[in-house]
Homo-oligomer: A and B are copies of this chain.
Amino acid sequence: MSELVVMKFGGTSVADPEKIQRAAERAIAARKKGKRVVVVVSAPGEMTDELIDLAHRVSPNPDSRELDMLMATGEQVGISLFAIACEARGVGATSLTGPQAGILADAKHSKAKIVEIRPRKIHEELKRGNIVTVAGFQGLNPHRDITTLGRGGSDLTAVALAAALGAKHCEIYTDVHGVYTADPRLVPDARLIPRISFDEMLELAGAGAQVMQSRSIEVAKKFDVPIRVAHAFDRHSPGTWIVKEVSSMEDALVTGVALDRNQIKVTIRDVPDKPGMAADVFDMLGKANVNVDMIIQSAARGQSNDISFTVPKDDHENAIKALETVQRRLKTGSIEHTVNVAKVSVVGVGMRSHSGVAGRMFRTLADNSVNIQMIATSEIKISCIVDKADGERAMRCLHKAFGLEKTRRGYAAR
């Protein structure tokens, strides 16, 4: 059977009729090469936000099942217009909603997980030679209701479909040229990374890089689906391949640098120094759905410790409520919230086989008068919490210190 490719076009790539036509031409080009083509389409432009806004004009707190029903129309508009554009160019195309495409999800509205894909109808349409456009971001739950997959849901649809259909790879078309060594808006000499491993991409996404959500990368890694991220309308853009790690990747010490300015540092003073206290604190935060990122516990001073950790800005309100309970129940000291922090991270599988990355990072920051407030490491990532005002400068000097602007692995930012 001929090669099957899954292409995904994001909202900015299908924002208006003219863009939809250009995106359709890209899918048609692949079809004309004899490939079987499945296209995952997002809601055009700002449509999802407009629909949410409409719902909020009807109710301050819209029912989540109904909000999913409403939001799902955005992608349905995208797939039908995309199919119309293909048909107008004489190429057969059939649009399928998430439920029609056999994307079965769990019952958690607004952030459902894909449970299974039954692509019978997709195969039928491919067999008839049609391009199949599938609505991203949505699925059918066990109650046969439409549900949505949360932020980055269309990428997830694309990667999961590529896995289920046995596609050679998954192409994510977007409004950037791929994954960069750093955010090119902040670091002008950032370079496009031609190849990056799933693990590095996961760490970069977790460290604040916004190209793709972690969930889709996790699925791609699990089913070993190579992803190509490229610009929707620049055929000469080589893009970035996100792939299984190969040994040559370790040649570079560091693959990328990321900055996350959406973290808040919380410090709980005078936590009694008894076994299980830290567990109690983070249990209560976990139950309040607060994602804790970095944690530092100071050495005990007498009968108590200070515990510091960071939480995403979006979780801060939940964290504040949970911490009031912590303070009351555990009889801790005061709780301090620091909003003017940033997290700067360096990521690279090369760290595993090369020592000295941490040392060079801390030295670089010190040389540039950036004070480090907290440190956290994984096997392939080192993150530091710094003053928010120092964030961009920290990223730029680390980018330079690890030679990212001249590495052979990248092309200049456009």
- Nearest-neighbour CB distance to chain B for A243, whole angstroms, equals 35
Q: Check B76–A62 contact: CB distance below 8 A.
A: no
Which of A5-13, A52-60, A278-286, A382-390 lies on the face that meets chain B?
Answer: A52-60
Which residues in chain A, 79-135, are within 8 Å of chain B measured between CB atoms? 79-81, 83-85, 87-88, 93-95, 97, 100, 121
Q: Tell me which of B59, B73, B88 contacts A58 (CB under 8 A).
A: B88
Q: Would you call B70 and A85 a contact (CB within 8 A)?
A: no
Residue-wise, chain A 20-40 has the 8 Å CB interface mask toward B (1 for contact) of: 110000000000000000000
| Complex contact B73–A76 (CB within 8 A) | yes
Q: With A and B bound together, what is the CA distance between A125 and B63 in angstroms?
A: 16
* With A76-B69, A79-B69, A95-B69 as contacts: A84 and B62 at CB distance below 8 Å: yes
In the bound complex, what is the Cα–Cα distance between A252 and B60 (angstroms)?
A: 53
- Indicate whether A55 sits within 8 Å of B84 (C-beta atoms), given known contacts A73-B73, A76-B72, A76-B76: yes
B-contact bits for A41-65, CB 8 A (1 contact / 0 none) = 0000000000100110111111101
Contact flag A85-B100 (CB < 8 Å), given A51-B77, A80-B70: no
Choose among A61, A65, A70, A144 the residue with the greatest number of B CB atoms under 10 Å from its CB: A70
A17 touches B (CB below 8 Å): yes
Chain B residues near A55: list those with CB within 8 A.
Answer: 80-81, 84
Q: In the complex, which residues 331-389 of chain A have their Cβ closer than 8 Å to any Cβ of chain B?
A: none
B72 touches A85 (CB 8 A): no
Are the C-beta atoms of A95 and B77 separated by less than 8 Å? Answer: no
A88–B70 CB distance below 8 A: no
- Report how far A59 CA is from B24 CA in the complex, Å: 12
Known contacts A17-B58, A66-B93, A72-B76; 20 additional CB pairs below 8 A are A17-B54, A21-B58, A54-B81, A55-B80, A58-B84, A58-B85, A59-B84, A59-B88, A62-B87, A62-B88, A66-B81, A67-B80, A69-B76, A69-B83, A69-B97, A70-B77, A70-B84, A73-B73, A73-B76, A100-B144
